[in-house]
Amino acid sequence: MCEFGARGFSAGSLNVIAGEAGIAKGSLFQYFDDKLDLYRWLLLDVAAHRKLAYVEAHMPASSGDMFELLERMMVAGIEFGIENPRLSRVAEWTFHQSPDPDLTAFVKEVEALGTENFLRFLEQARERGELRAGLDLDLAGAMIGSMLSKGLDIAMKQRFGFDLWELCTKPRLAKRISKAERARLAHDVAELLRHALGSGKKGGSARFDSDDARELIETAMRRS
C-alpha cells in the first residue's frame, strides 16, 4: 500500500511490496495472478471494504430522501479519506493523477460499474417520487457522478484553497478546516443536486442499504 501510494501502479515495485510484507516476491503469485490483480484487490477489496465499514458505522438506518443520503455518504467518505491517507494516495494515483496507460481498462471498468449502480440508485429514488417527473436518469446519473467527484473537488478548492485529494493525503490540511465546515460543504453540494434534480418533495424514505452501498463504494473509489 505504501509503495503504490508513493509511486503509483506502473512505478510501484513488487520487490518493495514483497519486502514490506516480509515474503519472497514469488510468494505474491500464490495469491495474485499479476501486479494488476494485486492492485485490484487493494482497491476493490481492502480499501472498499474498509470504507464500507466506516460508512456503515457513521450512517443512521433511516436517511431521509436520496439527497440527504448522498450528503451523509459524502461526509463519511471525506472523513474516511482524511483518516486513511495511505489509501487515499492509492486512489489519487488511480483516478486523479495523470492517466496511467496500464490502468486504462481497469479505470473504465470501475467507472462503467459505478454508472450502472448509480442508475439503480436513481430508479429507486424516482419510485419514491424524489426526482423531477420526466427526468433523464442517464443524464442525472452523469451529473451526480460528476458532482461527487469533480464537483466536490472544485467546491473544496474554491472554498478552502486546496482540493479534496490534498485534504485527504496531507494531514496538516485537515486541521485547517473543522468537521462542521467539511460537513457544510457536503450539504451545499447535495442541495445543488436537490435543486437541479429534485421533485421538491422532502422527508422521503431512502434508507442506507449495505448491499447497495457496497456496490457503490467498491465501484466508485474515485469519489472518496
DSSP notation for 33-81: SSHHHHHHHIIIIIIHHHHHHHHHHTS-SB--SHHHHHHHHHHHHHHHH
Query: What percent of the chain stands above pLDDT 70?
Result: 84
The pLDDT of residue 121 is 80
The pLDDT of residue 80 is 92
| Per-residue pLDDT tens digits for 93-116 | 887 766 688 888 888 877 776 667
The pLDDT of residue 185 is 95
The pLDDT of residue 62 is 59
Mean pLDDT of the chain: 81
| Cα–Cα dist 76/56, whole Å | 9
φ/ψ (deg, to 5) at 207: -125, 150
Query: What percent of the chain stands above pLDDT 90?
Result: 17
φ/ψ (deg, to 5) at 91: -65, -35
Task: Kindly give, in sequence order, each residue whose CB lies less than 8 Å from that of residue 117, ignoring residues fewer than 6 positions away.
Answer: 212, 215, 216, 219, 220
The pLDDT of residue 61 is 61
Confidence of residue 140 (pLDDT cuts 50, 70, 90): confident
The fold of 34-223 is: Tetracycline Repressor; domain 2 (1.10.357)
The pLDDT of residue 211 is 53
Counting Cα atoms < 13 Å in the Cβ hemisphere of 109 gives 9
Q: Are 146 and 140 in contact (CB under 8 A)?
A: no
Q: What is the CA angle 160-162-164, rounded to 5?
A: 100
- pTM of the prediction? 0.82
The pLDDT of residue 100 is 81
The pLDDT of residue 184 is 96
Confidence of residue 221 (pLDDT cuts 50, 70, 90): very low
Q: Count CB neighbours of 106 within 10 A.
A: 17
Sign of CA dihedral 72, 79, 11, 18: negative
Residue 146, pLDDT > 60, answer yes
* 148: DSSP letter: I
Residue 37, pLDDT > 80, answer yes
Residue 128, pLDDT > 60, answer yes
The pLDDT of residue 157 is 93
Q: Are 186 and 193 in contact (CB under 8 A)?
A: no
| Per-residue pLDDT tens digits for 165-213 | 899 988 899 999 999 999 999 999 999 889 988 988 765 555 545 455 5
Mean pLDDT value of segment 154-169:
91
Spell out the domain ranges in the chain.
34-223
Residue 51, pLDDT > 50, answer yes
- Helix, strand, coil fractions of the chain, as percent rounded to 5: 75, 0, 25
Q: Which three cell numbers stand for residue 129?
A: 417520487
